Amino acid sequence: MHTTALVLFSGGQDSTTCLAQALTRYQRVETIAFDYRQRHSVELDARLVVLQQLREQFPEWAGKLGEDHLLDLGVLGQVSETSLTRDTAFKMESSGLPNTFVPGRNLLFLTLAAALAYRRGLEVLVTGVCETDFSGYPDCRDDTMKAMQLALSLGMDKRFLIETPLMWIDKADTWRLADSIGGSRLVDLIIEHTHTCYLGDREHRHAWGYGCGACPACELRARGYAGFVGG
> Which residue type sits at 211?
G
pLDDT of residue 61: 98
Question: What's the CATH superfamily of 4-230?
Answer: HUPs (3.40.50.620)
SS3 110: helix
Residue 37 has pLDDT above 80, yes or no: no
Residues 3 and 25: their CA atoms lie apart, in Å, by 8
Residues 211 and 58: their CA atoms lie apart, in Å, by 25
- Angle (CA) 222 228 231, round 5°: 130
Choose the weakest-confidence range: 33-42, 85-94, 158-167, 178-187.
Answer: 85-94
Q: What are the residue ranges spanned by the domains of the chain?
A: 4-230
pLDDT of residue 26: 98
Task: Choose between 231 and 57: higher pLDDT.
Answer: 57
Q: What is the pLDDT of residues 78-137, one digit of tens each?
A: 666 544 444 454 444 445 544 455 667 889 899 999 999 999 999 999 999 998 766 667
Task: Choose between 85 and 9: higher pLDDT.
Answer: 9
pTM score of the predicted model: 0.90
Residues 194 and 188: their CA atoms lie apart, in Å, by 10
> Which residue type sits at 169?
I
Q: How many Å is the Cα radius of gyration of the chain?
A: 17
Asked if 47 contacts 196 with a C-beta cutoff of 8 angstroms, the reply is: no
Q: What is the per-residue burial (b if ≥16 Cβ within 10 Å, else e) of 101-140?
A: bbbebbebbbbbbbebbeeeebbbbbbbbbbebbeebebb
Choose the weakest-confidence range: 74-78, 140-144, 174-178, 200-204.
Answer: 74-78
| Residue 210 β-bridge partners | 205
pLDDT of residue 73: 82
Average pLDDT score, the chain: 88
Asked if 120 contacts 30 with a C-beta cutoff of 8 angstroms, the reply is: yes
Under the banding of pLDDT at 50, 70 and 90, the label for residue 39 is: low
pLDDT of residue 221: 94
DSSP labels, 40-56: TTHHHHHHHHHHHHHHH
> Which residue type sits at 212?
C
Residues 6 and 162: their CA atoms lie apart, in Å, by 10
